[in-house]
Amino acid sequence: MTDSDDWRAINRASWNRRTPLHLASRFYDLDAWKRGACSLKPIELEEVGDVRGCRLLHLQCHFGQDTLSWARRGASVVGLDFSDAAITAARDLATEVGLSSARFVQSDVLEASRAVGETFDIVFTSYGVLCWLPDLDPWAREIAACLRPGGRFHLVEFHPLAYIFDDALEKVTYPWDSKDTPIRTEETRTYADPDTPVQLVDVSWNHGIGTVVSALLRAGLVLDSLREHDWMAYPIYPSSREIAPGRYQVDKLPGAPLTYSLQAHRPA
């Protein structure tokens, strides 16, 4: 699997299949969100901070729930995703809840700066986004190009350690940094709705934290903070238990880092 069109087309088809299941799932709980619940987790709110009056770009935004949560907190938002089904749903959702000023753009994240055509105070992305990219240097350059001078980049992502195990978290199956070797997987369920059968084929890559940071530094960004956390925001692994609101540890991985958060900025 080396041809770029192949992995893009496979993954786009996979996310188009996931989208209707996710919209109806308890995991995303759109009914509660439409009534005013915030889908953003405490770690994102803490690290990004006050967004009132800010221009915010949400990369790989899926169907826009978090994007619109930032809009509810006062940001002027643009969401970008490569799935046409997800972007259609995001636009419909924005109209339904009266946030029609939010803009959603269908584009590959590696063409984000051209697709959005403007720069932002904040670029944000979170949870399961980097594994869909074979090379992080083009990704980092796009982030830099989308930031105004002095603008901030925020990433919250699953820790590379969480990606090396099989589904049962019992056997090391994948490399923590797969570099040029794609990981092709076939699944019969999606994380947001494990009870509904669906045929999914994905092509992904694992990236170590050093790979992520180095790509951002090569793109000219300045690293402000990097934190590793022994919890994750979702109970998506076996033996997950909630230790605090919105924070889950995994009994099979006691004390292991499960999430990391990163802040960087474009020099003024």
Instruction: Write out 139-192 in H/E/C secondary structure.
Output: HHHHHHHHEEEEEEEEEEEECHHHHCECCCCCCECCCCCCCCCCEEEEECCECC
Average pLDDT for 39-48: 96
Q: What is the per-residue pLDDT for 74? A: 97
Which residue in this structure is represented by tokens 């990606």?
A: 163
Q: What is the per-residue pLDDT for 168? A: 86
In the chain, what are the domains?
Answer: 4-265 (3.40.50.150)
> Would the CA dihedral through 102, 107, 113, 117 be positive or negative?
negative
Spatial CA neighbour of 71 closest among 96, 90, 89, 51: 51
The pLDDT value given to residue 5: 55
In the chain, count H helices and then E strands: 8, 11
pLDDT band at 3 (very low <50, low <70, confident <90, very high): very low
Q: pTM of the entire structure?
A: 0.96
**pLDDT value at residue 236:** 83
Residue 264: pLDDT over 90 = yes
Average pLDDT of span 202-224: 97
CA 132/CA 89 separation, integer angstroms? 21
Per-residue model confidence (pLDDT) at position 78: 98
Share of the chain above pLDDT 70, in %: 98
Is the per-residue pLDDT at 98 higher than 60? yes
**Residue 254 reports pLDDT greater than 80:** yes
Predicted pLDDT at 204: 96
Per-residue pLDDT tens digits for 136-148: 999 999 999 999 9
Residue 1 confidence (pLDDT): 40
pLDDT digits (tens, 9 = 90+) for 156-194: 999 999 899 988 888 999 999 998 899 999 999 999 999
The answer on pLDDT for 267 being more than 90 is yes
Q: What is the mean pLDDT of residues 66-77?
A: 98
Give the model's pLDDT for residue 100.
87
Cβ neighbours for 151, distance < 8 A, ≥ 6 positions apart:
119, 120, 121, 122, 123, 265, 266
Distance of CA 117 to the CA centre of its chain: 21
**Arithmetic mean of pLDDT over the chain:** 95
Q: Between 265 and 194, where is the model more confident? A: 265
Token pair belonging to 258: 């499960």
- Residue 114's SS3 state is helix
Arithmetic mean of pLDDT, 76-104: 97
